[in-house]
């Protein structure tokens, strides 16, 4: 299923040091064959903590919305492909959460997904079975191709051309968010289907991606017709990353799977400074000595579920980095959920004007030091 160069990491780690017993793979003891690979220094799975096979698990199952098991293992995969061909919406559990998957060629099915997900016009991402099929539907440069097939496998914005992709996937938009399979389940399913599918986050509008099977049945029951699940727990939600190429360089629009957490060099940063982020498209950052460690994409803090994920991201950063916060930074806006969370810590905190925070983030990303002239166009912002 994986080796030391691939497979899940951040979505399975429960604590450090990184050993199987401290990951969600601890529920699946290695069989003798996998143990032999794990202990063989000449094997590519030597000390691959998540090493597993069909004998070890995890295992697939296809559920109805009511939780009835329709099929298991390979039969579940075949039944899922058949359901997608018939125009049904399937919620599929992946590495870091659920995707909602439908036939990307059908305007009727895509529109049904939009209505159920309450997503009127925002573009959907499309997963293609292969680079060859992606080339039939989109135009992309060698640099964009390299990004599409990179280990991070982000969603990449590429120019769409006349193709079989439904117009409702990205209405009135010359760009298409395209990605290639990045998990074994994706490869197996796409090989069986042989056509592109919409693969959008398994959630309602403004809510975080769903990670658990029972949670999926509860929160996605009004959206998905069927649920393709596996029994490996997801330690924390991990969204797909989104990127594009601008002037020949990679620009990350959503930093998540494959790119985060990330440690950024920030000269003078003190350990224990915790930044709570803003209110929309937020992340959290915990300072270490001369470094800042940024979490993955959390999203908008509009709902209780999103605020719970935000709190867990803070707790994960503190636990995994072994750094106790001493000072908390938050947005100056007093009604932001992140500002409320900062106050709730009981620690000394400092409020930072929204646009100033944007400029400071750019300075940190590019290693700039004052004096600088920063211009931020991002809404009104609270305060002077």
SS3 of the chain: helix, strand, coil, percent, to 5: 30, 20, 50
Q: What's the pLDDT score for residue 215? A: 95
pLDDT score for 384: 79
> How long a stretch of residues is the chain?
384
pLDDT at residue 312, rounded to an integer: 97
The answer to whether the CB of 96 falls within 8 A of the CB of 234 is yes
Cα–Cα distances in angstroms (integers) from residue 74 to residues 63, 85, 188, 193, in the given order: 14, 17, 9, 14
CA dist., res. 152 & res. 260, Å (int): 10
For residue 122, give both structure tokens. 């925002």
List the structure tokens of 278. 């803003």
Whether 242 and 254 have beta carbons less than 8 Å apart is answered as yes
Count of Cβ atoms closer than 10 Å to residue 12 Cβ: 24
Please give the C-alpha separations between residue 78 and each of 74, 164, 317, in angstroms, as whole numbers.
6, 23, 39
Closest CA to 328 of 319, 336, 338: 338
| Bridge partners, residue 263, by sequence | 293
Handedness of CA 140, 144, 146, 150 (dihedral sign): negative
- State the CB neighbour count (10 A cutoff) for residue 303: 17
Per-residue pLDDT, 1: 60
For CATH 3.30.420.360, list the domain ranges present in the chain: 261-366
- Per run of 10 residues, the mean pLDDT along the chain (length 384 residues) is 80 95 97 96 94 94 95 98 98 97 98 94 97 95 97 96 91 96 95 98 90 95 96 97 97 96 93 96 96 96 96 97 97 96 97 95 91 89 84
- Give the per-residue pLDDT at 3: 74
Question: Quick check: helix, strand or coil at residue 93?
Answer: strand
Answer yes or no: are the C-beta atoms of 275 and 290 closer than 8 Å: no
* Residue ranges, CATH 3.90.870.10, the chain: 60-230
Sign of CA dihedral 29, 32, 34, 40: positive
118: left (phi over 0), alpha (psi -120 to 50) or beta: left
| Domain 60-230 annotated CATH 3.90.870.10 | yes
**CATH for the stretch 261-366:** 3.30.420.360
Instruction: Output the six-digit token pair for 194.
Output: 């042989």
DSSP secondary structure letter of residue 282? B
Q: Report the alpha-carbon distance of residue 135 to residue 375 in Å, rounded.
A: 38
Round to whole Å and give the CA distance between 12 and 173: 36
Residue 128's Cβ-count burial label (10 Å; 0-12, 13-18, 19+) is: buried
Element (H, E) at 328: strand 327-331
Find the radius of gyration of the CA atoms of the chain: 22
């Amino acid at each position: 299923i994986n080796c030391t160069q691939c497979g899940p990491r951040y979505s399975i780690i429960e604590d450090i040091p990184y050993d199987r017993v401290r990951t969600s793979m601890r529920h699946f003891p290695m069989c003798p064959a996998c143990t032999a690979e794990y202990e063989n220094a000449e094997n590519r799975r030597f000390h691959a903590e998540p090493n597993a096979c069909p004998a070890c698990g995890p295992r697939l199952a296809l559920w109805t919305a009511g939780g009835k098991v329709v099929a298991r293992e390979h039969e579940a995969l075949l039944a899922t492909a058949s359901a997608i061909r018939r125009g049904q919406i399937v919620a599929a559990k992946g590495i870091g959460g659920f995707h909602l998957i439908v036939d990307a060629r059908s305007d009727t099915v895509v529109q049904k997904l939009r209505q159920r997900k309450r997503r009127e016009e925002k573009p959907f991402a499309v997963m293609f079975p292969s680079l060859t099929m992606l080339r039939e539907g989109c135009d992309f440069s060698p640099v964009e191709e390299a990004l599409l097939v990179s280990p991070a496998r982000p969603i990449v914005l590429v120019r769409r051309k006349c193709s079989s992709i439904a117009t409702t996937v990205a209405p009135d938009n010359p760009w298409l968010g395209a990605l290639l399979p990045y998990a074994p389940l994706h490869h197996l399913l796409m090989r069986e289907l042989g056509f592109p599918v919409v693969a959008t986050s398994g959630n309602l509008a403004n809510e975080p991606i769903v990670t658990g099977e029972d949670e999926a049945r509860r929160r996605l029951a009004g959206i998905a017709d069927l649920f393709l699940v596996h029994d490996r727990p997801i330690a924390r939600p991990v969204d797909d990353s989104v990127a594009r190429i601008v002037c020949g360089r990679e620009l990350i629009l959503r930093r998540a799977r494959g790119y985060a957490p990330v440690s950024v060099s920030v000269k003078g940063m003190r350990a224990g400074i915790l930044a709570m982020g803003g209110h929309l498209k937020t992340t959290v950052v915990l300072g270490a000595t001369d470094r800042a460690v940024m979490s993955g994409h959390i999203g908008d803090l509009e709902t209780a579920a999103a605020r719970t994920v935000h709190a867990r991201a803070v707790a994960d950063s503190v636990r995994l980095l072994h750094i106790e916060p001493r000072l908390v930074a938050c947005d100056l806006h007093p009604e932001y959920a992140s500002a409320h969370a900062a106050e709730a810590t009981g620690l000394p905190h400092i409020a930072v004007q929204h646009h100033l925070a944007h400029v400071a983030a750019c300075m940190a990303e590019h290693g700039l030091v004052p004096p600088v002239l920063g211009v931020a166009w991002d809404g009104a912002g609270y305060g002077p």
